Amino acid sequence: MARISIKDLVKIFGGYIAVDRISLSIRDGEFVIIVGPSGCGKTTTLNMISGLETPDAGEIIIGDMVVNDLEPGERGLGMVFQDLALFPHMTVFENIAFGLRVKKFPESEIVARVTSAAATVHIETLLNKMPRQCSGGESQRVALARTIVTNPSVFLMDEPLSSLDAKLRVDMRTELKSLHKRLGATFVYVTHDQAEAMTMADRIVVMSRGRIEQVGTPLEIYNRPSTRFVAGFFGTPTMNFIEGTVEANGNARLFRADGLHHPLSTAVPAALAGRKVVLGVRSEHVLIADGAELRGITQLTEPLGDATLVHFDDGRGHDLVAKVGPATGIQPGSAMCFRFASDYCHLFDTADGTRIY
Ligand SMILES: Nc1ncnc2c1ncn2[C@@H]1O[C@H](COP(=O)(O)OP(=O)(O)OP(=O)(O)O)[C@@H](O)[C@H]1O
Ligand SMILES: [Mg+2]
């Protein structure tokens, strides 16, 4: 069973706490993506699972066994790194076969396994090429095949797509996702790219400064971010944030910030009245409509093709972004009316950023 469980894992580098007591359970066959900004401890966490780093405290369990004291090679894991490190003087076939040759597999089995792994990532025609004759995307697949061939029940991947251009990265996302389905193995994947995490993961683990901020499915993370950090990390453009206060008037709930006031969902608890909060609203939930209660002046527009971003200010120091249809006639400098979709307004604590509503 390729379940992985980590408990209260800690890693300290010379007094700096890189990983700060994180706990996580990964199910057999799950595709889990650890995401967060540079330096938040993703690689360190993955390296402790693989055995390349020794934890200062905590437990790592793979299947039913505590593996803290096992060497990387004894943990039954396959690793794919950002740095592909293909052997330049060996053909693609020999690169893929390398791990099997080390383990002295018979030639017939090597040929069968390499052929099958190559077919899995669609590089059957590259087997006689040298690595320098392969494109970035092809090399990436060779690196994957080299891991697939050893038949691990767990794949650990650290930014394996980071050396690829934008288009190829997007193509490889689809391929990795279907590869995961076909292999049925457990994938633990590290990236700083929120879009990669959203599109591929069964569950996302969001890290910040050595800690886990939230664990959830992509839609849970996007729709109900548990902290302001998570809310701001996911989604392009970044969520709009405005500091203000909650007010309650009978059944009505209101958000007020100097000069701007806006209805909130009636489900917002009355107990929050008077509380200082940060209102978060995504650009797709900022609605530009004639007759809406709030007024703004358009600063600039960014056509994306399928949508247009409208950057505007409300004349009271709030710079906001709305995502509107591609055919909008809104021009920079023009006045407009806007409101927020009340059911999609998130409220965070001003001090610690935790979700309040
Ligand atoms: N061997 C080391 N010695 C000292 N400090 C280290 C070492 N490895 C990592 N760190 C520090 O620990 C922190 C976490 O590093 P880690 O490599 O896990 O980050 P990351 O989330 O993978 O970042 P990135 O997205 O840039 O790869 C960083 O502040 C880093 O400088
Ligand atoms: Mg890293």
**pLDDT, tens digit, 9 for 90 and up, residues 230-268:** 999 999 999 999 999 999 999 999 999 988 889 999 999
Is residue 90 located within the same domain as residue 27? yes
Sign of CA dihedral 341, 225, 319, 272: positive
At 82 the pLDDT is 66
Assess if residue 11 is contained within a domain.
yes
Is residue 158 located within the same domain as residue 198? yes
**pLDDT, tens digit, 9 for 90 and up, residues 316-357:** 889 999 999 998 889 999 999 999 999 999 999 999 999 999
Counting from 1 in the atom list of ligand 1, the atom nearest the Cα of 41 is 18
What's the 165 CA to ligand 1 centre distance in angstroms?
24
> Is 86 a residue whose pLDDT tops 70?
yes
Mean pLDDT across the chain: 93
> Is 84 a residue whose pLDDT tops 70?
no
Residue from 281, 280, 314 nearest 297 by CA: 314
At 260 the pLDDT is 87
What's the 41 CA to ligand 2 centre distance in angstroms?
7
Ligand closest to the CA atom of residue 16: 1
**pLDDT, tens digit, 9 for 90 and up, residues 10-66:** 999 999 999 999 999 999 999 999 999 999 999 999 999 999 999 999 999 999 999
Q: What range does the domain containing 190 cover?
A: 4-228
Counting from 1 in the atom list of ligand 1, the atom nearest the Cα of 192 is 25
Is residue 192 located within the same domain as residue 296? no
Residue 293 CA to residue 297 CA, distance in Å, equals 14
Is residue 245 located within the same domain as residue 345? yes
pTM over 0.85: yes
Residue from 287, 323, 297 nearest 308 by CA: 323
Assess if residue 253 is contained within a domain.
yes
- Going by alpha carbons, the residue nearest to atom 8 of ligand 1 is 44
- Going by alpha carbons, the residue nearest to atom 9 of ligand 1 is 44
Assess if residue 187 is contained within a domain.
yes
What percent of the chain shows pLDDT beyond 90? 79
Which of the listed residues 16, 19, 190, 206 should we mutate to test ligand 1's pocket, taking the one with most ligand atoms within 8 A of CB?
Answer: 16
Task: Compute the average pLDDT of residues 160-180.
Answer: 86
- What is the tally of structural domains in the chain? 2
Counting from 1 in the atom list of ligand 1, the atom nearest the Cα of 46 is 18
The binding-site residues of ligand 1, defined as CB within 6 angstroms of any ligand atom, are 13, 18, 36, 38-44, 192
